[in-house]
Structure 1
Amino acid sequence: MRHLAGVAGGAAVLLALSTPRAQEPEPAADEPAGAMPADAQGGAVESTGEPESAPEPAARPEAPERPRPPRERPARAAAAVPPAPAAPGAARDEPLGPGFRERVRLALGPLEVTPIALIALQAAPYVGDDALSQAGDSAEQPGFRLRRVRAGLYGDVAGLVRFAISTDLAGGDEGTARIHEAWGGVTAMPALEVYAGARTVPFSRSAMAGAGDGSLTERPLAVRAIAPFTQVGIQAEGHFHDRAFSYHAGVYNAFQRSDQFYTGHSESVAPLGNRFEGIAVAGRIATEPQGPLGRTIQDVAHSPFRIGAGADGFFSDGGARTLYGASADVLLHASGRHALGEVLWTGASPKSVPTQPIAQVTSVTSLALVLEAGYMIVARKLGVSGRVEWIDPNVDVEDEGDNVVLTGGVSYHAYDDLVKAQLDYTHREELGGLSLSNDALILQLQLSL
C-alpha cells in the first residue's frame, strides 16, 4: 500500500503542476493525424489501433491545388483510418493544436517526408513477487524500463508511391537496434494499393493500432500472445466509400512462435531470406459505415457516433509448426466514449519432422476474449479506461496459464496526443492451479509523433 500511496501522491503533484490549455475546438471527426493509411491494419495498425489516416487539412498556399489521397501513419501501415480535418475556427497557428501531425512534414518537390518518433518510459512502483516477463508481465521487479524507442521516416511521392522505414532502438533484452518496419507501395488507386516489405499483418484491430495509440500502456495481453505483428511479404488492400468497406490480403514468410504462449510470435525481417520456413497467408475485411474512426482506440475528440467492425484470419505452413488463427472485433466511438470487443482464436500443430527444435509435441488450440471501455472526461486532455481479458492458452488443459486479466487506468494528454502520461494497474488471476502474485502498477510517459 505504501507503493500505491507514493504513486498516487506523485500523480497528484504532476497534475497540479500542469497548466492545462483551453480545450481545443473539436475536429469534425477523430484525431487529425499526420498519419497515413497504416497498419491499423485493421482499418486502423500501427494502428493501432486499427490505425488510420485522414484527409489532409486545407492545403498550404504554396501547395498545388489538387485533391490528395489520405495519408497513412508510418507505424501503422496496413489500415490506418483517415481522421477528418479540424473544425473551422481551430487555432491553425497553434503549433501543437489539433492536426499538428499533418503540418510536421518536409516537402521536396513531389516528395513529402514525415518523421516517425515514439519514446515510452515506464516506471513500475509496484510489481508482484511472481511476475515474469516470459509470461507476458510488464515488469519483474520495481524500477524503470525504456519500453519503446522508435525512429524513422515516412514518405509520399505525389500520392502515387508511399514508403516507410523505422527502427526500434531499444529492442530485446540487450537494447539492440532492429528494423521495425521497412516497406514501399504503389498507392495510385484507393481500391488497390500494393505494398511489399516488413509490415504489420492485417490481424486484430488492437494489433494493427499503433503501439502508442492505445487507451492503456500496453495492448491486450491476449493480442500480444496471438497476433503475428510485423512480417515480411507482399500485401494488397483497398478502401471504398470513405472506408465503408475495406479489405486486406497478404502473402508472407511463414510465422514462427515461441513454445511459451505468452511470448507470442517472433518478428523477423528475414535478413537471410526464408531459410527454414514455408509460406503464410492472411486476410481481413472491415467496415466503418459512418466514416473513419480515427487513429486512436480512445475517442479523444468527442466525435459523433461511429462504429467499426472487422474479421480476419491467417494460415502459416511453417517448417516447425502449422499455425492458424482468426479474430473478430468491434470498436465504438460516441461523444468521448469508446467500447472495444475482440475475440481471438488460434491453433498450432507441430510438424512430424520440424526444421528447427521445438518443445511442442501435440496440437494446441487457444481462445481469448477482450472487452474494453473508456471515457474522455476532457476532450484531448483527460481520460479513463478499463479492460477485462479472458485467456485460455490450451482449451484442453486447465492450469495457471488460464487467466483473467483486469486493467484500469487514467491517461493525461499534455499536448494533444504528442505527449501523454498514463497510469495503469493490472490484476492477473490464474483460473487453474496456483494463484500467483503478479499484479503491477505502471506509470508511462510517452512522446508519439
Structure 2
Amino acid sequence: MRHLARVAGGAAVLLAAATLRAQEPEPAAEEPAAAASPVDAQAGHGDATGEPDDTGAPAAPPSAPVRGPRPRGAPAAASPAPGSGDLLPPGFRERARVALGPLEIAPIALIALQAAPYVGDDALTQAGDVAEQPGFRLRRARAGLRGDVAGLVRFALSTELAEDDAGTARIHEAWAGVMAARALEVIAGARTVPFSRSAMTGAGDGALAERPLAVRAIAPFTQVGIQAEGHFEDRAFSYHAGVYNAFQRSDRFYAGHAEGLAPLGNRFEGIAVAGRLATEPQGPLGRTLQDVARSPFRLGVGADGFFSDGGARTLYGASADVLVHAAGLHALVEVLWTAANPKAVPTQPMAQVTSVSSLALVLEAGHMIVARKLGVSGRVEWIDPNLDVEDEGDNLVLTGGVSYHAYDDLVKAQLEYTHREELGGLSLSNDALLLQLQLSL
C-alpha cells in the first residue's frame, strides 16, 4: 500500500497542475472533427492482438475523416492554407494524400518506442504488464496505405513489422468498403470489431501510452468478417453491425483474444456477431481521446455487444461508454462485461472447465494545459476476471502521466507511472514507469 500512497500523492500533483491554464492565446482554428467512424480513424493505428496493442482505429476514430461520395471527375477539396508559422496546421493528415485520377492514397505509419526505467520484480507481460525488466521495447512498427476511389470505395492495408522477438511481420488490417451513402457502408476484410470505444480508438490516439488493461483483456479487436455501418446528421446517430469468424480467447484472462486473420479459412470455429450504437449530438469528437484542440463541449455515448459461438467456448460481451470533451478537458467512463462458457467437446485444447463471468470499470480524465502541446491524464481501472473467485487476478490499476506533442499529434512523447494493486491474495510488485516516443501518421 506504500506504492498506492505514493501514486495517490502523484495524482494529486497532476490534478493540481491540470487546473492551471496556459497564458498563451487559443489557436486560431480548431482541428476539424473527424466525420468518419472511430474505426476509420484507426485505419492503420488501431491495435488488436492477443497481446493487445496490438491495434487501433474508433478504433478508435479514423486516421483520416471520411468524406461523402464525390462526383466522378470532381477535383479533390482544396487544402487549407497553413497558418502563419504553423508547420503542421490542423487537418494535415487529410492533406497528406496523393491523387491518381479518381484514386487517392495516403500513408499509414505508426512507430512507438518504449523505455521502462523502473519495473517491479513480479511484472509479467503475460499478465498484461508493459514490461518484465527495465529496458527498451519496440512496441509498434506499422506501415501501410489507406485511400478511396472517387469517394465511393474506401480501403486500408497495413502490416505490423515488429510482432515478436524474431521480427515476424503480420497483416494488421486489410479491408475494403463500398459507400452507398453516409447511411450505409458495407466493409469486408480484417478490421476492428465495433466493441468498446477505447478498443476502437487508434493505438496511437489515446491519452496514455497503452489502452486500459481491462479493454486489452476483453475486447476482440481485429477479426475477419463483413461489417455494415452508417452515420446520420453529422454523427448525431451511428450504428455498426458485423458478422465474423468466432473469436478465440486465451485461458489467461489478461492475454485477451487472438486475432484471427483466417488465411486458411474458418477451420475450427463457428460464427460471431457484434453491433454498436452511438451518438455524438454536438458533433464529432474527433480522432483522439484527448481534447487536443480545447474544443467546445461535446458528448459521445455508445453501447455495444457481441456473441461468439466458437468451437471451444461460447462468448458473450457487452460494454457502454461516455466520453466528454470541453475546453481541453476529457473524461471517459467505460464499463465492460464478458462471459465464457466452455463447450462439452471443444475443438481445441483448453484449461477452462466452468463458466466464467468478468466485469471491469474504467475511469479516465485529463486536461490539455496547452492546446496541441501539453496534457496530463489519469486513469483508474477496477477489474474482476472471475466474479465467483477472489484472488490476485482482481486488480485496481492506477495510471497517471503527461504527454508532450512536438508536432500536433504526429510526434509525441508520453511519460507515465502505473500502480497495479491486487485486491485478493498476494500483493505483487508489478508497478512500472514508462516513457514512450511515438510517430503516428
**If the length of structure 1 is used for normalisation, what is the TM-score?**
0.86
Once residues 157 and 381 of structure 2 are traced to their aligned partners in structure 1, the CA distance between those partners, rounded to angstroms, is: 33
Within 5 Å, which residues of 2 pair with 1:167-316? 167-316=159-308
Separation (CA, whole Å) in 2 of partners of 1:96 and 1:24: 16
Question: What is the CA deviation profile of residues 18-52 of structure 1, one whole-angstrom value per residue up to 9, with x for unaligned ones?
Answer: xxxx8783434x5666x95451689x963356314
The 3 A distance-change label for structure 1 pair 49 and 271 is: closer
What displacement does 1:174 show? 2.9
- Amino acid corresponding to residue 54 of structure 1 in structure 2: P
* Number of the residue aligned with 2:57: 47
Contact 1:48 1:296 (C-alpha < 8 Å) held by counterparts:
no
Q: Deviations over 1:310-343 (max 9, x none)?
A: 0000000000000110000000000000000000
Instruction: State how 1:95-110 maps to structure 2 within 5 Å.
Output: 95-110=87-102
Q: Which runs of 5+ in 2 are unaligned?
A: 1-5, 7-23, 47-55
What is the deviation of 1:64? Answer: 3.3
- Matching residue's letter, 1:170: A
What is the root-mean-square deviation in Å for CA atoms of aligned residues? 2.6
Shift of 1:155: 1.5
**CA–CA distance in structure 2, aligned partners of residues 130 and 323 of structure 1:** 30
Cα pair distance change 1:49/1:316, threshold 3 Å:
closer
Indicate yes or no: 2:74 matched with 1:64.
yes
Counterpart of 1:50 in structure 2: which amino acid?
A
Q: What is the one-letter code of the residue matched to 1:425? A: Y
The structural deviation recorded for 1:145 is 0.1
Unaligned 5+ runs, structure 1: 5-21, 69-84
Q: Please tell me whether the aligned partners of residues 204 and 223 of structure 1 are also in contact (alpha carbons under 8 angstroms).
A: yes
CA deviation string 1:78-127 (max 9, x = no partner): xxxxxxx98xx861784422211111111000000000000000000000
- The question of whether the paired residues in 1 share the 8 Å contact of 2:376 and 2:403 is answered with yes
Q: Describe the shift of the 1:346–1:25 C-alpha distance in structure 2 as closer, same or farther (beyond 3 A).
A: same
CA distance in 2, matches of 1:140, 1:444: 16
The one-letter code matched in structure 1 to 2:368 is: M
Point out 4+ residue stretches in structure 1 off by more than 2 angstroms: 22-28, 30-33, 35-38, 44-50, 52-56, 63-68, 92-95, 172-175
Task: Mark the CA change 1:66 to 1:49 in structure 2 (over 3 Å): closer, same or farther.
Answer: closer
What percentage of aligned pairs have identical amino acids? 77
Q: In the comparison of the two structures, how many residue pairs are matched?
A: 406
The answer to whether the 8 Å contact 1:232/1:252 transfers is yes
CA distance in 2, matches of 1:128, 1:311: 36
| Matched residue SS, 1:151 | strand
TM-score by length of 2: 0.87
Q: What is the DSSP-based 3-state SS (H/G/I as helix, E as strand, rest coil) of the residue aligned with 1:39?
A: helix
Residue of structure 2 equivalent to 1:440: 432
Residue number among 27, 45, 70 corresponding to 1:25 in the alignment: 27
1:149-184 deviations in whole A, cap 9, x for unaligned?
000000100110011100000013433100000000
Shift of 1:418: 0.4
CA contact (8 A) 1:32 1:99 kept: no
